[in-house]
Amino acid sequence: MTAAAVPVHTSEGSWLTSLMETIVTLMEVIGPIGAGIAIALENLFPPLPSEAILPMAGLAASRGSFTLTEALLWTTLGSVVGAFMLYGIGAWLGVDRLRRIAARVPLLHPEDIDRTVAWFVRHGGKAVFFGRMIPLFRSLISIPAGITRMPLWKFGLLTAAGSLIWNTIFVLAGFLLGEAWPVVERYAEAFQLLVIVAVAGALAWFLTVRIRGILRDRRRAAEGPALNSLHGPRSGNPENPPT
C-alpha cells in the first residue's frame, strides 16, 4: 500500500513549487534515497530550501514511506556528498588561482585572500561545523575548506556532525508536527533573513572602508606633487648665503 502524497508548502514562485513537487515524487518513488539526492542538490543549488525538503522527508517517514532513521541517514549522507563536490571546486581553485583572480577584481587585493586563508587555517574546523547550521553558509563553507586543503577525514567528520544536527531538527519537525511543519519553515526563513542582513551589512562595511582607503590614497598622491612644487628646491646654501 502506498503512502498518501506529501503536500508541498512553499511561498515562492511557481518554479520552486514545481521543483518541490518533483522532489516529493522522487521521495515517493525511490524512498529515502530520493531525500538524500535532493539534499545533495541543495548543497550545489542553494535556492533549493533544505528547510522545506527536510520536513517533508520527516513527514514521509511519519506516514510509513520509510523509517525516521533512514530519513536522517540518507539526508545526512546527501549533505556530505554535496559538500565534498563543493570541496572539490575549492581544491581546484586553490590559493594561487584565487590570488590572481583577486588581483583583477576591483576593490580586492591578493592580500585579502592571504588573510582569509590564514583565518580559515586557524578556525576552519569551527567554521565548517557551525557553518553547516547557518543558511547560505551551509554550502559555501565547503569551498574555502577545499581551497585550504583541509584534511578530507576532518572535513567529512565535521560536515557530517554539523549536518546531522541541522537535518535532525527539520526532519523531526516534519515527523512530529505533521501537516503543521511549515511553522518551523517560517522561523527558519526569519533566521535566514537575519543572516542575509548581517552579510549585507558586513559587505557594505567592507566596501565603505575599502573605497575610503582608495580615495585617501588618491588624495595623498595628488597632494604630494603639489606640496613639492609649492616648496620647490631652494637655491644656494641657507647656512652659507652668498656674499
pLDDT tens digits, one per residue of 73-109: 999 999 999 999 999 999 999 888 888 888 887 777 8
Selected residue with higher pLDDT from 157 and 17: 157
pLDDT cut 90: percent of the chain above it? 27
In tens, the pLDDT along 4-24 reads 455 555 444 455 567 667 777
> Which amino acid is it at 63?
R
pLDDT score recorded for residue 1: 39
DSSP state of 179: G
Backbone angles phi, psi at 61, to 5 degrees: -65, -40
Which residues does 139 contact at the CB level (< 8 Å), separation at least 6? 42, 43, 44, 46, 82, 83, 86
Cα end-to-end span (Å), the chain: 117
In tens, the pLDDT along 198-207 reads 777 877 886 7
Per the rule left: phi > 0, alpha: psi between -120 and 50, beta: everything else, 55 is alpha
pLDDT score recorded for residue 87: 95
* Average pLDDT value for residue range 157-169: 94
Selected residue with higher pLDDT from 24 and 69: 69
Residue 233 has pLDDT above 60, yes or no: no
Where helices occur in the chain by DSSP H, the ranges are: 14-30, 32-44, 50-62, 68-104, 110-131, 137-140, 142-147, 152-177, 182-230
pLDDT score recorded for residue 2: 44
In tens, the pLDDT along 52-65 reads 788 888 888 888 88
Q: What is the pTM of this model?
A: 0.74
Residue 3 has pLDDT above 50, yes or no: no
Burial class (CB in 10 A: 0-12, 13-18, 19+), 98: buried
pLDDT score recorded for residue 13: 47
**Of the given ranges (2-11, 155-164, 205-214), which has the lowest mean pLDDT?**
2-11
**Of the given ranges (62-66, 141-145, 215-219), which has the lowest mean pLDDT?**
215-219
Cβ–Cβ under 8 Å, residues 148 and 121: yes
Q: Which of 155, 159, 153, 146 is nearest to 92 (CA)?
A: 146
* pLDDT band with cut points at 50, 70 and 90 for residue 159: very high
Report CA-CA distances (Å) from 144 to 126, 131, 148, 159, 204: 13, 12, 6, 13, 22
Cβ–Cβ under 8 Å, residues 160 and 26: no
**Of the given ranges (8-22, 106-120, 133-147), which has the lowest mean pLDDT?**
8-22
Which residue's entry shows cell 578530507? Answer: 152
Q: How far apart are CA 17 and CA 182, in angstroms?
A: 14
